[in-house]
Structure 1
Amino acid sequence: MTYDVIVIGGGSAGCVLAARLSADPALSVLLLEAGPDFATLEDLPPEVADASYAPFTHDWGYRSVADEFGNEVPVPRGRLIGGSSAVNVCVAMRARPSDHQAWAEAAGPAWGYEQMLPLYQEMEHYPYGEPKYHGLGGPYRMTMPVAEDLGPHAAAVRQASADLGHPLVDDFNAPGAPGFAYTPLSAADGVRLSTAVGYLNPVRHRPNLEVRGETLVDRVLFDGTRATGVRLATGEEIPARHVVLSAGAYNSPAIALRSGIGDGADLAALGIDVVADLPGVGRNLTDHPAYWNIHVAKPPQDLAKSMFGSVLSVAVGEGEPDYDVQILPSAAVPTAGLPAAFVSPTENHPTGWDMVFFVSCVQPRSRGSVRLASRDPEDAPVIDLGLYTDADDAELVAGGVRLARRLARTEPLADLLVAERVPGPDVSDEDLAEAIRRAPAHYNHGSSTMRMGGPDDPAAVVDADGAVHGVQGLTVADASVFPAMPRVATNVPAIVVAERIAGVLRERLTTDN
């Protein structure tokens, strides 16, 4: 059978594409996912369904190459239906109007905020904000946390933020000045609502849609410069009229490179025939560098239901027009349960509880890369995150940690904390940037490795509709095509990118039929 469309990757974007494309009964759609396919909510393992837990049980197991200090940083990515939306911490943030302005400047006016707002409204079910900014009845259901869910420590950050002069924002996903806000969550009743749950599962009954889990793709097949299908790691070949790469910021470029799309010299060195010489494939990797500022906390009387659920967005850099740093305060949680508990010894911990300020530079200047280790699809790609290769990023994160320290010294929060544990009082404000560079972490927001841009942009890989330059029948739709890094968690931006590209592609394929 020749499918009309094969979508590679059943993650945040891939589930959207499969649902939206198969809405046309004339289009046959095959969705391929390397990890397991949990077809119903009841099939999900408990740790995946539980919105309060970010599991690493269904993970690709990637690590970055060592930095100058020898640090190899984990790069967790979901390997299951739903992708990373099935294992994330459920923060649901739209790209800012300023982010869409940058996208429009790089990739065309269709990506501007006013043009994209109807897609945000169509995708979401959000009964909390103003109708002119939000939608009801969409497949992406969001809820709002309340202070009681986050515990007294996180709630105290809100008051401390206001006391330090930061605006209290009612609706994070509406335009307006940055400040402290509760963050919408892609969760309800304690259940994580991935794109598999919201988009894919309700339409699995469609006769023109097929989903295959545990199916690793080797490469895209070509006849000249026209994509004709895919080859699996098993050697099986599946023909298609059109192929969509939605495997994420690491695996989409890896598949493209194995398919002969990338820097011609690099491909030739691996013995791969060049289909399209596009040096931008795998370049420009961007992530939000981050730091775990950890404080010993007094045990809470009321346990929180969510570790995260609020954010303080601030401008730290000189001349920043919007904001460039985010601080996510956590609830007080048992020390042994902290993802970052390993960064400092926990023996003789005075309370057994910690609170974290997760500080991130959300407009980083540093860039990394994704390359092939070999032609073997079983081999992990070579990921160089490039964190802090631009020293300004460490300074911005340090500015955020200094603010977090001020918050920790401000009542009512100060009365709920005992002492700073990481980096600790021995590290002065002046020495923070160096301490941050030596303890690299990131927000798990890899993006821009196959970014959008015009034919005159030598680093661009796809056009404004996600079509790969220089070939026919191949589209990319996931976080890898972001033309610029948004200031927010990347799940919602990846979904809205998939929404727009799915609409364009469906119309094009229907017209061609």
Structure 2
Amino acid sequence: MTYDVIVIGGGSAGCVLANRLSADPGRTVLLLEAGPDFASTGELPPDIKDAAYAPFTYDWGYRSVPDAFGNEVPVPRGRVIGGSSSVNVCVAMRARPADHDAWADLAGPAWGYPQLLPLYQEMEHYPYGEEKYHGLGGPYRMTLPAPEDLGPHALAAGEASARLGHPGVADFNGPGRAGFSRTPLSAADGIRLSTAIGYLNPVRHRPNLEVRGETLVDRVLFSGTRARGVRLATGEEITARQVVLSAGAYNSPAIALRSGIGDRADLAALGIGTVSHLPGVGRNLTDHPAYWNVHAAKPPQSAARQVFGSVLSVATGPNEPDFDVQILPSAAVPTGSLPEQFVPPAEHHPTGWDMVFFVSCVQPRSRGSVRLSSADPGAAPVIDLGLYTAAEDAERVADGVRLARRIARTRPLADLLVDERVPGPDISDAELADAVRRAPAHYNHGSSTMRMGRAEDPGAVVDTDGAVRGVQGLTVADASVFPAMPRVATNVPAIVVAERIAAVLRERLATRD
């Protein structure tokens, strides 16, 4: 059987594409996912059902190459239906108008905020904020945690931030000012609402849609420069009129490289023939570098339902049009319940409870890369996150930690904290940038490795509609095509990219029909 469309990757973007492209009953769609397809049964394992951070259960197991200090950093990515939307922290932030201004400059006006606002409204169910900015009845249900869900420590962080001149913001996903706000979440009643739940499950009954889990794709097959299907790691070949790569910022470039799309010299070194010489494949990897600023906390008087449910967004760099640093204050949590790599256990902890300020530079200058170690589809890609290769990124994160320290010293939060554990009071404000560089972390927001751009942009891999340059019948739709890194969590931006590219593909396929 030859399918009309094969979508590679059943993650945040792939589930969107499966839904939208199979809406025409005359079009056959095959969705391939390397991980298990639990969502088909309606009985999800607790660790991907609950709205909690659980990235290492259904995970690709990737790690970055060592940095200058020898640090290898985990690179968690969901290997399960729903992808990383099934394992992330459920933060549901839209890209900001300033982000879309940058996208429009690099990839054309169709990616501007006014043009994409209708798609944001169509995709979401968000009964908060002004109606002119939001939608109801969409497949992506978002909620806003109640103030009492945050716990007393995070609430006190908001009050302390206001005392320091950072105003409260009622609707983060509106186009207004930056400040302290509750974070919209892709969760409700403690249940994670992945794109598998919101987009895929409601349309599984369609006879023209097939979903295959536990199916690892080796490469895209070509007749000349036209995509004609895929080869699985088992050797099975499946043909299609159109192939869409939605395997994410690490696996989309890896599959493209195995398929002969990339730098000619790099491909030849691996014994791979070139279908399209595109040196930008796997380059320009961008993530939000971060730091865990940890304080010993007094035991909370009431339990929090959300570990991270609020955010302070601030501008620190010169000429910043919106904000470039985010600080997520956590609820107080029992010591040892957060990742030990970043929040080490203490033998003589003063209280047994910790509060974290998760500080990130959300407009980084550093860039990394994704390469192949071999043409074997079972081999992990070589991921160089490139964190802090641009010195100003560490300075921006350090600026955020300095502000977090001020918040911690400001009442009412100061009354709920005991002392700073990481980096510790022995590290002065002047020494923070070095401490940040020596303890690399990131937001798990890899993007831009198959970057979108205008025709005159020599480094772009795909055109302004996601079509891969130099070939026919192959499109990319996921975070890898971001023209520039948005200053927010990347799940919602990846979904809106999939929504727009799905609309383009529907028109293109209808014309060919």
Query: Which TM-score applies when normalising by structure 2?
Result: 0.99
SS of the residue 1:359 aligns to: strand
Deviation at 1:343, TM superposition (A): 4.4
**8 Å contact from structure 1 (residues 468, 476) kept in 2:** yes
Matched residue, 2:308 = 308
Quick one: distance in 1 between partners of 2:499 and 2:464? 13
Letter in 2 for 1:271: G
The reply on whether 1:233 has 2:233 as its aligned counterpart is yes
Matched residue, 2:353 = 353
Deviation at 1:416, TM superposition (A): 0.4
The reply on whether 1:17 has 2:29 as its aligned counterpart is no
* Cα gap change, 1:75 to 1:294, in 2 (>3 Å): same
SS of the residue 2:131 aligns to: coil
1:4-34 CA deviation, whole Å, 9 max, x = no partner?
0000000000000000000111110000000
1:105-128 CA deviation, whole Å, 9 max, x = no partner?
000000000000000000000011
Quick one: distance in 2 between partners of 1:345 and 1:50? 25
Letter in 2 for 1:173: N
Quick one: distance in 1 between partners of 2:209 and 2:7? 11
Quick one: distance in 2 between partners of 1:415 and 1:483? 44
Matched residue, 1:171 = 171
Quick one: distance in 2 between partners of 1:90 and 1:211? 24
Quick one: distance in 2 between partners of 1:401 and 1:340? 19
Residues 363-382 of structure 1 mapped to structure 2, 5 A cutoff: 363-382=363-382
Residues 383-422 of structure 1 mapped to structure 2, 5 A cutoff: 383-422=383-422
**8 Å contact from structure 1 (residues 34, 214) kept in 2:** yes
Deviation at 1:341, TM superposition (A): 6.0
Quick one: distance in 2 between partners of 1:397 and 1:409? 19
SS of the residue 2:447 aligns to: coil
1:149-185 CA deviation, whole Å, 9 max, x = no partner?
0100000011111110012111000011100011110
SS of the residue 1:452 aligns to: coil
SS of the residue 2:355 aligns to: strand
Matched residue, 2:205 = 205
Aligned length: 513
Matched residue, 1:453 = 453
Deviation at 1:39, TM superposition (A): 2.8
Quick one: distance in 2 between partners of 1:512 and 1:152? 58
**8 Å contact from structure 1 (residues 90, 186) kept in 2:** yes
Quick one: distance in 2 between partners of 1:175 and 1:62? 35
Deviation at 1:53, TM superposition (A): 3.5
| Gaps in structure 2 of 5+ consecutive residues | none
Deviation at 1:346, TM superposition (A): 1.5
1:244-300 CA deviation, whole Å, 9 max, x = no partner?
000000000000000000001100111101000000000000000000000000010
Quick one: distance in 1 between partners of 2:322 and 2:449? 24
Quick one: distance in 1 between partners of 2:112 and 2:437? 34
Deviation at 1:43, TM superposition (A): 2.0
Quick one: distance in 2 between partners of 1:503 and 1:342? 41
Letter in 2 for 1:419: D
Quick one: distance in 1 between partners of 2:345 and 2:309? 27
Deviation at 1:344, TM superposition (A): 3.1
Quick one: distance in 2 between partners of 1:341 and 1:392? 24
Quick one: distance in 2 between partners of 1:224 and 1:5? 19
Deviation at 1:42, TM superposition (A): 3.7
Matched residue, 2:331 = 331
| Gaps in structure 1 of 5+ consecutive residues | none
**8 Å contact from structure 2 (residues 294, 343) kept in 1:** no
Matched residue, 1:473 = 473
Quick one: distance in 1 between partners of 2:164 and 2:48? 38
Quick one: distance in 1 between partners of 2:128 and 2:314? 24
Letter in 2 for 1:367: R
Quick one: distance in 2 between partners of 1:342 and 1:492? 26
SS of the residue 1:115 aligns to: helix
Deviates more, 1:115-124 or 1:456-465: 456-465
SS of the residue 2:475 aligns to: strand
Matched residue, 1:426 = 426
**8 Å contact from structure 1 (residues 292, 356) kept in 2:** yes
1:184-228 CA deviation, whole Å, 9 max, x = no partner?
100001000000000000000000000000000000000000000
RMSD value, Cα: 0.9
Matched residue, 1:157 = 157
Letter in 1 for 2:493: P
* Cα gap change, 1:343 to 1:152, in 2 (>3 Å): closer
Quick one: distance in 1 between partners of 2:288 and 2:406? 22
Query: Which TM-score applies when normalising by structure 1?
Result: 0.99
Matched residue, 1:495 = 495
Quick one: distance in 2 between partners of 1:426 and 1:4? 62
**8 Å contact from structure 2 (residues 167, 179) kept in 1:** yes
The reply on whether 1:437 has 2:437 as its aligned counterpart is yes
**8 Å contact from structure 1 (residues 362, 486) kept in 2:** yes
Deviation at 1:54, TM superposition (A): 2.5
* Cα gap change, 1:129 to 1:58, in 2 (>3 Å): same
Quick one: distance in 2 between partners of 1:274 and 1:94? 37
Quick one: distance in 2 between partners of 1:201 and 1:194? 10
Deviation at 1:52, TM superposition (A): 2.7
**8 Å contact from structure 1 (residues 218, 258) kept in 2:** yes
Matched residue, 2:3 = 3
Matched residue, 1:509 = 509
**8 Å contact from structure 1 (residues 221, 230) kept in 2:** yes
Deviation at 1:455, TM superposition (A): 2.4
**8 Å contact from structure 1 (residues 335, 341) kept in 2:** no
Residues 30-69 of structure 1 mapped to structure 2, 5 A cutoff: 30-40=30-40, 42-69=42-69
Deviates more, 1:451-460 or 1:78-87: 451-460
1:390-436 CA deviation, whole Å, 9 max, x = no partner?
00000000000000000000000000000000000000000000000
Matched residue, 2:138 = 138
The reply on whether 1:84 has 2:84 as its aligned counterpart is yes
Deviation at 1:342, TM superposition (A): 5.3
**8 Å contact from structure 1 (residues 229, 242) kept in 2:** yes
SS of the residue 1:336 aligns to: coil
Quick one: distance in 2 between partners of 1:162 and 1:342? 28
Deviation at 1:348, TM superposition (A): 1.2
Quick one: distance in 1 between partners of 2:322 and 2:439? 27
SS of the residue 1:43 aligns to: coil
Matched residue, 1:147 = 147
Letter in 2 for 1:17: L
SS of the residue 1:31 aligns to: strand
The reply on whether 1:243 has 2:239 as its aligned counterpart is no
Quick one: distance in 2 between partners of 1:181 and 1:220? 44
Quick one: distance in 2 between partners of 1:126 and 1:81? 24
Quick one: distance in 1 between partners of 2:264 and 2:203? 41
**8 Å contact from structure 2 (residues 151, 303) kept in 1:** yes
